Amino acid sequence: MRQNITNTTSNSYIKPCPFGMEVEPYWARRYDLFSRWDSGIQTDKEGLFSVKPELIAMGIANWVSGQTIIDGFCGIGGITIALARSGHNVIAVDSNKNRLDMAKNNAKIYGVAGHIQFVHADIFDFLKKATSDTIVLDPDWGGPAYRKLKYFRLNDFKPNGRQLLEASLKATGNMVLCVPANFNIEEVLTLSKQFEYKKWKMWNRIICITIKFSNQ
């Protein structure tokens, strides 16, 4: 049974992680993930370790161009909320209904739910009919174990990163992909010659890299 948590207590900082020791480091930094955590932020185990810290999510949102943005892997709403707070209209897609409902709750806490359309769908099915200025993709890295890999490759994403990029580039000319620090950047050369990337640092290390593609 999946364990969910809604945090509403002001002294919750001293509470042990309810999802186990494996993700304790993420729990200890939960106020960096959402500054309004104590207002009722909802998450599950995967949401806790996969959501981007709020400052980085806001940085990514300001780095993205376009009025209407698709967040292809909404999760519990980190990047989705940041995009809406930055003035974008957001279409938030996720195949996990439970996690999408958490994102709705979390967006309400930040007062931006009205700027977000939440869609429960498989991303590949959705991309077949999608229209937007830009697609943002932050697919599953496979959990905390991704750090053990010397090089993270497109095939290590869940779903398959190469298939995902090909489908996304067909749907729109502008796309942003979030990858881990150990990602092999040279792999994207086989898919697009027009891209730029930015490294996002926090806690004295690279948290993620965003790669911006443009075929226009």
Rounded Cα distance between 69 and 29, Å, is 28
Can you give the pLDDT of all 216 residues of the chain as single tens digits?
Answer: 344 444 444 444 568 899 999 999 999 999 999 999 999 999 999 999 999 999 999 999 999 999 999 999 999 999 999 999 999 999 999 999 999 999 999 999 999 999 999 999 999 999 999 888 899 999 999 888 898 899 999 999 999 999 999 899 888 878 999 999 999 998 888 887 789 999 999 999 999 999 999 865
Q: Which of 73, 71, 77 is nearest to 102 (CA)?
A: 77
* Residue 142, phi-psi category: left (phi > 0), alpha (psi -120 to 50), beta (remainder): left
Q: Angle of helix 78-85 relative to helix 54-63, nearest 10 degrees? A: 50
Contact yes or no for 160/206 (Cβ under 8 A) = no
Q: Which domains, ranges and CATH numbers included, belong to the chain?
A: 4-50 (no CATH), 57-214 (3.40.50.150)
| pTM greater than the 0.85 cutoff | yes
